[in-house]
Every structure is written in C-alpha cells, then in structure tokens.
Chain A
Amino acid sequence: MSLDVRRLLPPGTVATESRGEALSGPSVCAWCKSALGSVEDGVLWVGAATCDQMRRCLEFAGRKTATPPIVIHAPKTRTSEAEDLYLSELTWAAGELERRTGRRLDPGKLQRSIIVRNGLRRRIRDLRPALSGSDFVALVHLDALTAAGPMDALLKHPPVSRPAAPGLPVLVAGSPLAPGDLRWLDLLESSGFRIVADASCTGDRAVDFEVDEVGDPLEALARAYFRRPPCIYIRPNDAFYEYASMLARNRGVRAVIWRSVRGCDLYGLETKRAEKRLGLPFLALDMSYGDVDSPRLRTRVEAFAESLR
C-alpha cells in the first residue's frame, strides 16, 4: 500500500514507562505503558488483540491520537475454524486500511514483499549462531522497524557484531524485549551466560517461519502467522513449550532465564508452570524498565550463574 509503517516497539525506557503510566494507570504492564508513553499524534495504530492489556492499550492509544485504531482478533485456540477467523480478520484489516488511507492493496506487491521478508528472516536465522543475544534481538527489532530495502542492504553488509561470548548456554523466554532491554541481555552475557535461544516474541520465534510465496498472499500471511511458533497466550499453550523445549534441546541449553515485564500476567503468572514444563535450572525475573541493569538484578543473575558452575 506504500504506507509508512513502523512496528509498535516501545522504547522500554523509564521515561516512556512513566509517561505511559501517567496516561493510563499503575497496573498497566510496563511494555504497554512504554508504548503509550511514546505515542505520536496523527498515527494510525494497527494491531492485534493478543493479550487483554495490548488490546486495551491500542484503544487507549487511539483515544490519545484521536484516530480510532484498527484492531483485529488474534485467536487463542488453534483450530481450523480459528485459523479461518484469523484470515477473515486480516482481510477485514486490509479493507479497513484501504478505506482509511484511500490506497489499494496490490496483491503483486504484497507477494514481492513476502518474498523479500522471507529472505530477510532467513538471513537473520543464518547470522544467529554468530551473534550475541543482544545483537540478535537488535536485528529482530530492526527488521520490525525498517523497510525491506534498507534492511536488505543492512544484512548484505552487516555492521561488525560482537561475536557470541563463551558462557553457559541459556534460553531466554518471557515478555517481548524492548530496545531498552538490550542492556539486560548484555548484563546476562557479561555475567557468564551465552544466550543461544530466545523464545520471547522478539527472539527466535520472530524469524523462525516462512510465508508461502505462491497463492493468495493475504491468505499465505494469515496461515503462516497463525501456524508459526506460537506465543504463550494460546490455549492450551503446549505448542509454546514444545517449541521452547525443542530450541533448548537442539542448542544445548543448560538453564532458563524467564523474564516478565511488570504487570504482564501472561508470562508472570505462568512462571511456576514454565519452570516445571521446561525442566531446567530456572531463574525468574519480574522487571520494570528501571531494573534492566540494576546492581540488584546483576547480583541475582550472578548468583544464578554461580549456582550452575
């Protein structure tokens, strides 16, 4: 549609979290607060009702910008009916975007975009073993924020990355990581861990799938996103754990670091169950963006590393 599209990616800073809290309330999750705290006027928000807080955050953002958001339902069950519902939701969103912007969705362009994006995800997957945990997530963030052309150019000549440092191989999982959280990943890697797998929404799951490049492109998108490694919000969420366990097995993971942003029920309330399901030494952290590299946190992480030596 030739629209200027930016992925909603909260900065994950104390300042945006505070601004968002002033707009909404203290009980909102830190991710949504940070997103709300960085809302720009005149922006049309398009999003999915993934968790309850996100859907309400989208409504809230629309109220702030005086532009009603386009919100689709993200099914929580994994039946064929739910998959069809998701397709109909995406189709509705495309039509709504056309109506609101006056642009037409060109299936040919969409198909080309799918091909390019598939290539970008493949390239990121190929680079992944050589990257530090924070550089990998930074690439995932960039992929979400950057138009296909510049991203393609960047990946053809990637900036020099710090190689993955030696350390105890861990799986990171939990709430999505904001740019501000990269410091937290650095903290982990400077405390004796090597992040070899990331089951958060901004980790391996974000690039570990392909969209069918033939056939109706909108349908291909819907099927691919519905069938990709799922978020923890699906019910039942066994497939999430199967994916995380597969990552852990294949990459020699020795421990799990489970991190929820403050107020995120879907990951926070799942902590005990995750420890049992994943069956590995487990560190659970519940953090706001003010904590990402605090001395208190470093002490906990280092103590966990020590306990595993």
Chain B
Amino acid sequence: MTFQDPPAAKIDFASWNAEFRRLSGEGRRPPSPRASIAPGTAALGTPLCFVELEGNLRLRTLRFDNSLASLRLWSFLLSENDRLAAARRAGTKIVGTLKDLGTVPVIAYSSPRALAFYPDGAWWIPCLMEMSEGLLRIADAAGFGDEACPVRATLAAFLNQAHFPMPDLLVGAVGACCDDMSCVMQRIADLDIPMVWWELPYRRDAVTPELVGFVAREFDRVRRAIGDIAGDEISDDMLAAGIRKANVVRRTLSRIRDLAYSASPSPFPALETQICEMMALHFCSDLDSCTAILADVLQTIERRIENGEGVLPRDNCRVVWVNPVADLRIMNLFEDMGGSLAGTEYLFRHALLPIPEDRPPLEALAEAALKDPMIGTAQYRARLVIDEARKYGAEGVIVSQIPGASHCATEGVVIRQEVRRALGIPVLEIVTPPVSDAAIGQLATRFEGFFEIIRSRRSHG
C-alpha cells in the first residue's frame, strides 16, 4: 500500500476517519506481538481501533497530526490492551511495573517469556473515556478522592479489572516516590497478585557508587523474581542485549526530541511528541513494534524539516513544558493559543537517557534508575528544565501541576524561582485535571496572557 502523507497539518477526528478509509487492508494488519514492522509500512494494531472509539470519547475532541506515522503511533498506543491479551494467550508472562518509569521494563523485556507494562498509565483512562468508565468514582469509594493524584485511576482499574489483564507479577518501586503512588501501590498489594517491592533511594546531589551498588542488588532481586515467573533465569548477557534494544528506542527518541523541539516551524505536534516520549517507559508492551513506529515518526519529522513543513505557525511561543498532562486536550489548547514545545520534563527524563553499555548490566540499569528526576531535589529538576530551555531556546516555561500529586505541592515554586534566577524567562503554573472542559476557558485565557508576555518580550527585549 502506498500512502502519501499530505502536507503537514493537524486534523480532527472526522478528517482522520476520512483519511483512514483510504488505507487498504494491507495496512490494517492485526496485532502481532513482537513482530518486526518495517518503517513505512502501516501496521495499525487492532484494525479500526482509531476509527471506532471503543469508549475513548476524548478522541472526538482532539486534533491529531495527519501523517501515517502519527496514525500508527495512536493505533499502537490505543491497542495496547489487545497486545497484552494476545501475549497472555501466547503464554507470555505479564509484569506490571509500578512507579519506577523506565527501568524495570528493560529487565522484563530481556526475557523472551515476559513483557512489562505500566498500570500507572491508567491515569489517562478517565480522560480518554471522558469519565464514562467511572474509574475515579471507584477510586473515591475506595478512599482515594480528589485529594489524591489522578493516578488513583490505576487502583480503580485494578479493582474493576476491566481495563487491562491482571499481571502475573507486580514490581513496585518505593522509597523516594510520591506519597499518592506509594498509597496506591499498598492498596494494590492487597489484591493477592505476587508483588516484589524494591527500594528506590533518595538521591542527594549525585549518583554515588554506593547507591548504584545498592540499587543493582535490588534489581537483582527483581530480575530473579521475573525469571521465576517466566520460568527461565535472566542472565547478564540477556540483560545486556535488552539494554542495547532499549537504547535503540532511547536514541531514536533523543533524535525526535532534538528535531521536534528545536525546529521552526514545529514539525510534529505536542500531543504526539508527548506520546512518543511515553513510549520510552515500557515500549507500549511491544519493544520491536515500538522501535519501528518511532523510527517512522523520526523519518516523518526529518522529511518535514527538509521540506520546510510544520504543523504550527512559525512565530508560536517556544515553551518548555513540565509534567505530563492528565487531559490530553490541554496540549492541543496550548498550541491553538500560540504555544510550541521547546523542551519537556515529563517526570521521567532518566528513561530517555542511554543506558551505559560498558559496565555490568545491573549496575548500568541502577545508574539509569538513579537519574530519576523525581527522587532528588526539586532544584535538580529545575536544573533539567533550565538545561532544556537553554538547549532548545525556550522563551518561557509552563509547569502543569497534577492536582493532588504530592510532588506538585512545592515543586512548582522551586522551578519558578530557579528558572527566573537562571534565565529570566516567564513561568506559568497551571493545574490540569483529568477532564478539564470546565477549566478550558480560564486555561485559554491564561495561555493567551502568557504568550502575550512572551511576544511583548520579543518586541521590547
């Protein structure tokens, strides 16, 4: 099948459906776990999953990138549960990884008989299904009300067992993690799913050899637990191979980020780049397909830059975005009001950095995990934001607070102070609930005001 991407643009759901009908059956292959997909071939996961809402009502209000690479990305994202179910049927063991964001999945994927996914990702379900699924009500009834982070939807998804297959093993990172997630994990631990807890220590200024040694030993416990349920030991060589494969994804993402956040006009929308970055966490339950899909995105971005194409006006305000948004619509709104991503800090920078390949694999993984921006000081995280702003020439920073998240209670203030001191650029703090329709008006006004400030600074220095 040949599908020529139209000129770069953002299109709505109905327009994508119209485009979708032009795709031949060749492009609509059913999911095949771990199948290799050549870049440029349209493999859409579950056929029609993008056209039929399957309860994901939010898609109707979003605007999407119009490339085939974007369609594949969305389809891959939205068909994850199908892949998990297929993997379960094929006898693959499913490892649910909680909190660590990016490292334990590399261990799981090193086994040919296991795959990892993040139940934490269920925090997007209330947004995607526009609350029709009732997860937050279930969480509320379980004692996790609005005072808790939207990640409480994860607990609800475990309680109603309607959104993903129950894992064969849970691996929970505790220690210097947020309080909400720690409480969610404790409740999930009551559900009689085998669970391994590992200690993710607080990192002061630097990653010390002692901490690396400690976490490496913790990962050794995790590796043995995964090996036990998978039925085969995971050797150092298997881990090293797993690291190399993960690094392919990380290198591709690094290139995507560099191009998407530095080019003007912006070649790929904020919403889709956020999804790309999220792929680093657990490869959306299929490492090989993830690698191919990201390669396709990269090719699309490269081609657009070469052609001088973009999805946003060239003069949109260049902004570093801090924290993932629970409501995907906000990334659309940000761009519609005049923003353009010039860097991000989505809580999991460590998952984007290459894992060292020149040392014992458990130590390499430990070193990677200890770069987690959430286990150190807010000042460290502010430095990441500042580096990002410098690297991509940002004109402002938006800190999107996650309502109820313990780290958000004070972090925004520190980031604001540090960014202003180091760069003197404006910082906007917003709060993004899982479905922000009621707040869209005030958020639009605040974005507008923020971009006016940036434009005024352009004019007056």
Contact = CB atoms under 8 A, between A and B. Distances in A.
Interface string B158-175: 000000000000001011
B201 interface: yes
Contacts of A237: 186
A88 B409 contact: no
- Best-buried of B148, B201, B218 by chain A (most CB within 10 Å): B201
A273 B186 contact: yes
Interface string B367-411: 000000000011100000000000000000000000010111111
Interface string A5-48: 00000000000000000001101110000000000000000000
B373 to A, nearest CB: 13
A82 B406 contact: no
Contacts of A270: 143, 183, 186
Contacts of A273: 143, 186-187, 190
Contact of A59 (B148, B172, B414): B414
Nearest to B208: A92
B182 interface: yes
A49 B202 contact: yes
B422 interface: no
B183 A269 contact: yes
A51 B183 CA distance: 11
A71 B147 contact: no
A52 interface: yes
Contacts of A272: 142-143
Contacts of B182: 52, 76, 233, 235, 265-266
Contacts, number: 121
Given A235-B186, A269-B180, A271-B143, A76 B174 contact: yes
B199 interface: yes
A23 B274 CA distance: 32
B406 A63 contact: no
B214 interface: yes
Nearest to B405: A27
Nearest to B218: A81
Contacts of A60: 410, 413-414
A109 interface: no
Interface in A50-102: 51-53, 55-57, 59-60, 63, 71-73, 75-77, 79, 81-82, 85, 88
A77 B199 contact: yes
B178 interface: yes
A108 interface: no
B346 interface: no
A236 interface: yes
Given A52-B178, A236-B186, A270-B183, A24 B143 contact: no
B185 interface: yes
A270 B147 CA distance: 13
Contacts of B177: 52
Contacts of B204: 71
A25 B413 contact: yes
A265 B409 contact: no
B217 A81 contact: yes
B62 interface: no
Interface footprint category on B = 35 or more
B176 interface: yes
Contact of A24 (B144, B172, B187, B409): B409
B199 A76 contact: yes
Interface string B91-123: 000000000000000000000000000000000
A88 B210 contact: yes
A268 B407 CA distance: 16
Contact of A57 (B144, B148, B410): B410
Given A77-B197, A81-B214, A266 B174 contact: no
A177 to B, nearest CB: 19
A68 B175 CA distance: 21
B143 A266 contact: no
Interface string B120-148: 00000000000000000000001110011
A269 B144 contact: yes
Contacts of A29: 409
Interface in B401-459: 404, 406-414, 417
Contact of B176 (A49, A77, A88): A49
Given A236-B186, A273-B190, A85 B176 contact: no
Contacts of A63: 379, 414, 417
A268 B190 CA distance: 17
B411 A56 contact: yes
Contact of B175 (A27, A71, A76): A76
Interface in A126-177: none
A73 B414 CA distance: 21
A229 interface: no
Contacts of A55: 176, 202
Interface in A224-283: 233, 235-237, 263, 265-266, 268-273
Contacts of A59: 377-379, 410, 414
A85 B199 contact: yes
A263 B147 contact: yes
A90 to B, nearest CB: 13
**Lowest 7 A-B CB distances belong to which pairs?**
A272-B143, A265-B179, A73-B202, A269-B183, A27-B409, A52-B406, A49-B202
25 contacts: A24-B413, A27-B404, A52-B407, A53-B406, A55-B176, A59-B379, A60-B414, A63-B414, A75-B199, A76-B174, A76-B197, A81-B199, A81-B217, A85-B199, A235-B172, A235-B174, A265-B182, A265-B406, A266-B183, A268-B147, A269-B143, A269-B144, A273-B143, A273-B186, A273-B190
Given A53-B179, A56-B378, 8 more contacts: A25-B413, A27-B409, A52-B407, A53-B409, A76-B174, A77-B174, A81-B218, A263-B147
